[in-house]
């Protein structure tokens, strides 16, 4: 296929909304999916989300099912971004990640004693505001990827605080496994972004695709760690 350019699908959107703040290593092609491996690797999140939803349904956990649905939405929005590559769809990609991170932060906030009153509203507003702030950050030349890194750090800090408050001991196997998996995924993505490991002519050697596939493996681990807290945090009667 010819390189991505004028006359190709999504090129008009690229000119209208501007480019994303990063160009990943994979060569773009002229088509409805212009980064094939970075796009299709998001199917890993579909598989992870379906697994979480199936397990949660068997356990009767509505909040766990909601988390699984969020993982699927996160993968779908990342799929759209890598298929199209413009700043609007990149911002939507971040919306999916904010939905996941803030869902877990809401759980930990409840464990720390925050009221459930208005929890869903605060969550929705937080997702919207987190997305909107990306535009001024982008214009200022600030790496918007730091927002998700900050969210991950907030999850780790709030988990520590919640466990310290409750006096919980042990039970961190899935949490540490998730952190380790995400760290490996992030290193793959950094190797791609910095071109440490990069060959656009080898579509299977793409660090950002590895970020998607390895990161998707972390989602069931996160769900397994938090499944005992999900419904207690989001239950309407509490």
Query: What is the model's pLDDT at position 238?
Result: 44
Helices and strands in the chain: count of H runs, count of E runs: 10, 0
152-175: b (≥16 Cβ within 10 Å) or e: beebeebbeebbeeeeeeeeeebb
Residues of the chain short of pLDDT 70, as ranges, are 1-2, 235-238
Show Cβ contacts of residue 58 under 8 Å, excluding neighbours closer than 6 positions. Answer: none
**Contact (CB, 8 A) for 10 and 32:** yes
Query: What is the model's pLDDT at position 2?
Result: 60
Query: What is the model's pLDDT at position 120?
Result: 86
Query: What is the model's pLDDT at position 51?
Result: 98
Query: What is the model's pLDDT at position 169?
Result: 81
The whole-angstrom separation of Cα 46 and Cα 37 is: 15
Show Cβ contacts of residue 117 under 8 Å, excluding neighbours closer than 6 positions. Answer: none
pTM of the model: 0.92
The whole-angstrom separation of Cα 127 and Cα 98 is: 6
Determine whether 122 is exposed, middle or buried from the number of CB atoms within 10 Å of its CB (0-12, 13-18, 19+): middle
Query: What is the model's pLDDT at position 237?
Result: 43
Query: What is the model's pLDDT at position 235?
Result: 67
Query: What is the model's pLDDT at position 3?
Result: 74
Query: What is the model's pLDDT at position 96?
Result: 97
CB atoms within 10 A of CB 146: 10
CB atoms within 10 A of CB 105: 19
């Amino acid at each position: 296929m010819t390189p991505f350019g004028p006359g190709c699908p999504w090129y008009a959107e690229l000119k209208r909304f501007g480019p994303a703040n990063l160009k990943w290593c994979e060569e773009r092609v002229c088509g409805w999916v212009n980064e094939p491996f970075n796009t299709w690797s998001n199917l890993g999140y579909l598989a992870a989300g379906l697994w979480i939803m199936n397990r949660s349904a068997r356990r009767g956990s509505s909040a766990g099912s909601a988390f699984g649905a969020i993982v699927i939405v996160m993968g779908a929005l990342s799929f759209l971004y890598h298929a199209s590559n413009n700043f609007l769809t990149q911002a939507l990609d971040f919306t999916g990640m904010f939905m996941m991170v803030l869902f877990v932060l809401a759980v930990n906030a409840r464990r720390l004693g925050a009221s459930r009153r208005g929890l869903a509203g605060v969550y929705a507003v937080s997702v919207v505001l987190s997305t909107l702030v990306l535009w001024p950050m982008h214009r200022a030349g600030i790496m918007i990827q730091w927002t998700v890194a900050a969210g991950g750090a907030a999850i780790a800090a709030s988990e520590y605080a919640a466990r310290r408050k409750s006096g919980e001991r042990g039970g961190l196997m899935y949490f540490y496994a998730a952190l380790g998996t995400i760290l490996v995924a992030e290193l793959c993505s950094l190797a791609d972004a910095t071109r440490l490991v990069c060959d656009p002519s080898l579509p299977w050697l793409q660090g950002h695709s590895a970020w998607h596939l390895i990161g998707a493996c972390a989602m069931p681990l996160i769900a397994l760690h938090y499944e005992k807290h999900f419904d207690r945090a989001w239950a309407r009667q509490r």
